[in-house]
Amino acid sequence: AGARALLQRMRPAPPPPREPAELIRQLSQLLHNNVFAAAYKGQPQVLETILGQPARVLAVCGVHAGMQQHGTLLQPLHMAAFNGHAHCVRILLGLRGVDVDAVA
């Protein structure tokens, strides 16, 4: 098992996608997952870092106040509020277009 683990660590990382659409899809998924995780876990620095990206990047990746967790109606604000992460709630309430009456 040790040799297999070492071999996996020594393998080079897969090359980045060549197609811009695939790159955007992967970045979008990464940003969405991290926004929801940060809201759920109470990580305001992560939220600030992601939401501090250029508006065009966020728009292309679909990161906005009303984004929903895949397959649900849950939004980052729901996650932060439910778990009592007041600092994250304040950050999310500061987003343009946030809907405090959104149903989950």
* Per-residue pLDDT reduced to its tens digit, 48-80: 999 999 999 999 999 998 999 989 999 999 999
User: How high is the mean pLDDT of the chain?
Assistant: 88
The SS3 of residue 32 is: helix
Distance CA 46, CA 48 (A): 5
Cβ atoms of 51 and 94 within 8 Å: the answer is: no
Residue 1 has pLDDT above 60, yes or no: no
Give the Cβ contact number of residue 36 at 10 Å: 20
pLDDT at 103: 85
Q: pLDDT band at residue 22, thresholds of 50, 70 and 90? A: confident
50 close to 31: Cβ distance less than 8 angstroms: yes
